[in-house]
Structure 1
Amino acid sequence: MIFRLLGLAFLFLSAFGQESPKVVPFSAPIKPMIGGKTSLTCQSLFGSPPLTIIWYKDDVQLTDSPSKSIRIQSMEALSALIVDSITSSSSGNYTCKISNRYGSDSYTTELLIEGPPNWLSKPSDIKQQFGETISIECRASGYPKPKTTWKKMKGPASNWNQIEDYYSNMETIGSNNEKLILRNVTRDNGGRYGCSISNGIQPDLWTEFQVTIDGKFS
């Protein structure tokens, strides 16, 4: 009896247009070019007006901002997000959320921009005590996804070599080696380090930093 009444109530509300929105799935253009323009269009399949449409990029709300090359044009149940000048940082997950007084719905699509890596986290000089743990991050955005390579200066000729050749107390974390962990550090862990980041599109990224180990050495 209860389920029957609920069903009748739903039919009654629908008959009078009291419906929550339903976002029509949309997709991003294939291989948009850096410096070009692209757009995403979001609309509601149904839903009682008035409707509110909000765009997000990586869970951060977007606003109409020509200075940032982003324009949002909305009209009733339809909204267009326009990127006037594409950069590699335009890559990300774009979400359109439509809501009214009866509920809300959202849809997310990923926009991938092919371009060289851009710094997200760059290591600086580190000073650490003997026997402690060092955590270093070298990370960048870009598509294809960049990979980090860790190196250390070694020998009188000051050659840069892969860090994996030296230490048993180290490990790299992340699918693309973006974090380096040195555990129970000793004097031998000190020195000049570098990390390079590449995704096959030039230019690559490179930075150097110094690791100093303080404390009593046996």
Structure 2
Amino acid sequence: RTQVQCVVQAGDPPLTLQWLKDDLKISSDLGIQISIDDYSSTLAIGRVGSEHAGEYTCIASNPAKSTKLTSRLIVSVPPKWRVEPKDVNTTREGVAMFECVAEGFPTPTTTWKKVIGQSPNEYQDLDVGRLGYLLFGNGTLIIKPALPEHQGQYLCEASNGIGSGISSTVTLVVNNPPDFEMSSSQESVRRGQTQVLVCEAKGDHP
């Protein structure tokens, strides 16, 4: 809960007091309560949310003059997911993309780590810019080309100093595409005889 008071120190009545948010009339959807008496006005917000951040201007006027005072309300918001990362299946030398997009105020910082052991908290920072790892400003991780050594679990963390932050663990599976042991061969058979042709491929199931 927060409130701000606008008090007129001098001026002849009748006085008119009004509030603006970001230079616009305050919407009733914001749930803001405004009380006014002869020489002051109080703006109160019962449950502060990110939508309440902005500049609030109190305007006092009478037939002789109009004056105003502006205050900025900064609302710190802990991170929450805009796009939570999901597991990815791709083929060897393909592209794997993990979207990990968080929002909040201040803007959250996103980091990626790879799980390297069986015990909790065994992570390794990604060598972004090398080994096929590319990280974008919004938290999206791209692995290109995806190789068998990239397979495993990854941890995405988002934090902005408000609260404990959020995290999500995802799995990357890199499948080997079908491939033939032998590209082609030639078989001879007499007319009327039966010949069995064998086609063997290697790769991951199914």
- Using structure 1 for the length normalisation, give the TM-score: 0.52
| 2:20 maps to which of 15, 30, 42 | 42
- Following the alignment from structure 2 to structure 1, what is the Cα–Cα distance between the partners of residues 99 and 163? 21
How far does residue 181 in structure 1 lie from its aligned partner after superposition?
Answer: 1.2
Check the 8 A contact 2:82/2:102 in 1, yes or no: yes
- Aligned-partner SS, 2:127: helix
Higher helix share: 1
The residue aligned with 1:144 is: 106
String of CA shifts for 1:88-139, please: whole Å, max 9, x gaps: x336678xxxxxxxxxxxxxxx864123212211101111122221222212
Q: Which has the larger radius of gyration?
A: 2
Q: Please state if 1:164 is matched with 2:127.
A: yes
Check the 8 A contact 1:187/1:217 in 2, yes or no: no
String of CA shifts for 1:170-218, please: whole Å, max 9, x gaps: 11111xx611111111111110111111111222111111111123389
| 1:127 maps to which of 89, 99, 102 | 89
1:54-69 correspondence runs (5 A)? 64-65=28-29, 69=31
Check the 8 A contact 1:136/1:180 in 2, yes or no: yes
- Following the alignment from structure 1 to structure 2, what is the Cα–Cα distance between the partners of residues 170 and 124? 17
| 1:180 maps to which of 141, 160, 168 | 141
- Following the alignment from structure 1 to structure 2, what is the Cα–Cα distance between the partners of residues 164 and 92? 37
Mind listing any 5+ residue stretches in structure 1 that lack a counterpart?
Answer: 1-34, 46-52, 56-62, 73-80, 95-109
Q: Please state if 1:192 is matched with 2:153.
A: yes
Check the 8 A contact 2:92/2:146 in 1, yes or no: yes
Mind listing any 5+ residue stretches in structure 2 that lack a counterpart?
Answer: 6-17, 35-42, 56-71, 180-206
Aligned residues: percent identity? 23
Check the 8 A contact 1:38/1:86 in 2, yes or no: no
Distance 1:165 1:113, change over 3 A: same
Q: Please state if 1:153 is matched with 2:115.
A: yes
- Using structure 2 for the length normalisation, give the TM-score: 0.54
String of CA shifts for 1:52-98, please: whole Å, max 9, x gaps: x777xxxxxxx633xx64679xxxxxxxx9854113x336678xxxx
How far does residue 164 in structure 1 lie from its aligned partner after superposition?
Answer: 1.9
Between the two proteins, the alignment pairs up a number of residues equal to 146
The residue aligned with 1:216 is: 177
